[in-house]
Amino acid sequence: MNRDATLPEALAFASAIELVRRLKAREFTARALLEFQLARVARLNPEINAIVYTDLPAARDRADQADAALARGEDWGPLHGLPMTVKETNNVAGWPTTYGDPALAGAIPPHGAVIVERLLAAGAIIFGKTNVPINALDWQSYNAIYGTTRNPWDRERTPGGSSGGSSAALAAGLVPLELGSDAGGSIRFPAHFCGVYGHKPTPGIVPVAGNERGTSLLDNDLVVSGPLARTVADLGCALDVIAGPAGPAAKAWRLDLPAPRATRLAEFRVAYVTDSPIAEVDEPVRAAIRTLAERLAGLGARVTADALPFDDHAAHHATYLQLLRGSASGRLPQAVFEEAVLRVTEPGTNATPYVARMAQAHAQHHRNWILAEERRAALKRDWAAFFERYDVLLAPVTVCAAFPIDEARPREERVLQINGHPVDYNDQLFWAGLATLPSLPATAVPIGFDGHLPIGIQVIGPHLEDRTTLAFAAELERLYPFVPPPRFAPSPGR
């Protein structure tokens, strides 16, 4: 075996599981695989700016250690020798965690997050971080520290956010596995925009310990960390690595996720929706979902259209926004909080309806928060009853395929062109909240294209039944496997 041998270009799009299998079979070394990926990063990353921080000496040293361990017959785990990156907001000991905010440019956590340490313990070689929007609060990924990340399918369009760098790096074949996070679609949107797979786990199964922001120790059960990959099997492998209790809870609790309800498409009871009066969906996306539903029915699945456990889309969305934006109130600078109070008491200061809703959430009374949590509890009960009749719900990830990058206007003032007319950019949050508010797992899966742009779908499942959404997604993958963007695909014969 020659560690300096040139690896085939097609290896850039191999699954993480295949790469580890071949590493353990000694077909090539971890160092050779790392250098192969780094060469692609050096050549292609400048076009999309997905990977924004690296520590190459440490990565090379760890790759050499991984090779030496294999030579001694040691197996570090399911990710032994696998090069990968993580979303910038994940704490890696000694590396900056800035959230794209210049005020945090010098912030270096002394300890890594539990989930990062679990990836390392499983054998991963984490060599860098991927880009995010400032404060991880956008479906575009640009900031004043690291610049703009672009979609590998169309560099004038967004890769999504806030895990935009993660999805772009995967789609371009720069890494085989990534770690993102999601509260407002931040795993699902980028997966959809870039044509990769992403899993938003059930809240609570993946620990947040060590990933606290600044000095805050509060857990927010709307926010979860989860994997992105180019295959569903890789999602499941990564979830098995990072899931499970941590800290004091690990003294008593063990995670034992139930087996999937079904493993063949014909065995699933499938509900689907294509549109909402709160967040209108572009016709190409709706058409792709209808086509999928017809295909599933033809394969024997029991398919039901327009099924949801609630009728009042506006109420569902209002509760989600109230809790999502309200949960951020404690992190606001005092001046920003006081401005929110002013906007509530003097409504004429609100620029848009979305700005008004944010202000109301930031400055709400505690009693209103409790009432919103009561509504959420009732919704969770209704969703549980819904999943007694259905196994999965298929829904749009968001309102359209990847849209053009818009850095000229703040998020609150942007619009999207949907079905030929402008809509509020922030309407997209409805589709994120569909799974986030009731604490449900959701797996994003590509199902086709709008012209040259990928279209994905989110597979939403019952609380704690992550293996069901992953099993269904794996069946969809057989129909719609990952396709690399032409500019980044390997050359024929290489």
Phi/psi zone of residue 327: left (φ > 0), alpha (ψ -120 to 50 degrees), beta? Answer: alpha
Q: Is 439 a catalytic residue?
A: no
| Calpha distance 244→6 (Å, rounded) | 39
Cis peptide bond prior to 162, omega within 30° of 0: yes
What is the per-residue DSSP string for 95-122?
S---TT-GGGTT---SS--HHHHHHHHT
Strand partners, 126: 84
Task: Compute the Cα dihedral for 162, 168, 171, 176 and give only its sign.
Answer: negative
Q: What are phi and psi of 97, to 5 degrees?
A: -125, 100
Beta bridge partners of 178: 228
- The active-site residue, picked from 87, 166, 225, 327, is 87
87 is catalytic: yes
Specify which residues 395 forms β-bridges with: 458
Residue with tokens 């063990």: 254
Catalytic residue among 15, 129, 141, 162: 162
DSSP 419-441: TTEEEEGGGGHHHHHHHHTTT--
186 flagged as catalytic: yes
Q: Is 256 helix (H, G, I), strand (E, B) or coil?
A: coil
Task: Report yes or no: 89 and 130 within 8 Å, Cβ to Cβ.
Answer: no
Q: How far apart are CA 4 and CA 99, in angstroms?
A: 37
| Bridge partners for 85 per DSSP | 128
Smallest CA-to-CA distance from 274 within 257, 287, 261, 256 is with 287
Give the separation between CA 302 and CA 299, rounded to whole angstroms: 9
Give strand pairing partners of 182.
224
Q: Which amino acid is at 425?
A: Y
455, containing H or E segment:
strand 453-460
List of residues 6+ apart from 76 with CB closer than 8 A: 66, 69, 121, 122, 123
Please pick, among 15, 141, 166, 186, the residue that the annotation labels catalytic.
186
Query: What positions carry a catalytic annotation?
Result: 87, 162, 186
